[in-house]
Amino acid sequence: MPTSTAPTSRTVHPRDGRPAPAWAIRAARLIPLVTLPSGLWRIALVAGVPLGAFEHGEPVRTHGWQSVYIVSLSLVAEALALLALGLVQPWGEVFPHWLPVVGGRRVPPLFAEIAATAGGVAVTLIWGYAAWGIIVQGNVMGFSPAGFALLVACYAPLLLWGPLLLSVTAAYHRRRCRD
């Protein structure tokens, strides 16, 4: 049977669909994994798991909206980390159809680059500042030594989020924008 030559609703650009380098795919897949320990730590805190955090001599407990905020923060951080996969997968080249106005259209590479670069710089600064604060101030948050070690072990991987995202963004730029 003959195939249809009717134009599709999306404009195909000659650089769309180029495969990402293997190292960039691995780095993009690593990003959600480096955010996972901190999210699990926060969810464990909400669930009442004893994490070695104390306030006025009692284990820290979260309540009401504070718990909702902490769980929401974990889910949003993980969702944002998963967006890095869009920089190396073909599905990241087109806006989802359910989005108003832009749904089904090609993602402008400059838009993706600016958003990913801003995100990479932001998380680098946020987690770099947090790490600097811990190095300078130490354990001032009322953690037991084991609880503080667990906190550091769960949050230290976040230091990789920004640099990984920036490197994946650079690979995206080379693949989608350069000749």
pLDDT in tens, the chain (179 residues): 555 444 444 555 555 667 889 999 999 999 999 999 999 999 998 988 888 776 666 667 777 898 899 999 999 999 999 999 999 998 888 888 888 888 888 888 899 999 999 999 999 999 999 888 887 877 667 788 888 889 889 999 999 999 999 999 999 999 887 65
Q: Which of 29, 70, 25, 31 is nearest to 47 (CA)?
A: 70
Domain membership flag for residue 4 = no
Q: Which of 76, 109, 77, 78 is nearest to 92 (CA)?
A: 109
pTM of the model: 0.82
Angle between helices 161-176 and 109-137 (to 10 degrees): 160
Q: How many domains, in total, are found in the chain?
A: 1
Domain membership flag for residue 17 = no
DSSP 89: S
Domain membership flag for residue 93 = no
Number of H helices, E strands in the chain: 5, 2
Domain membership flag for residue 36 = yes
Domain membership flag for residue 28 = yes
Domain membership flag for residue 30 = yes
Note down the domain range covering 125: 22-83+107-176
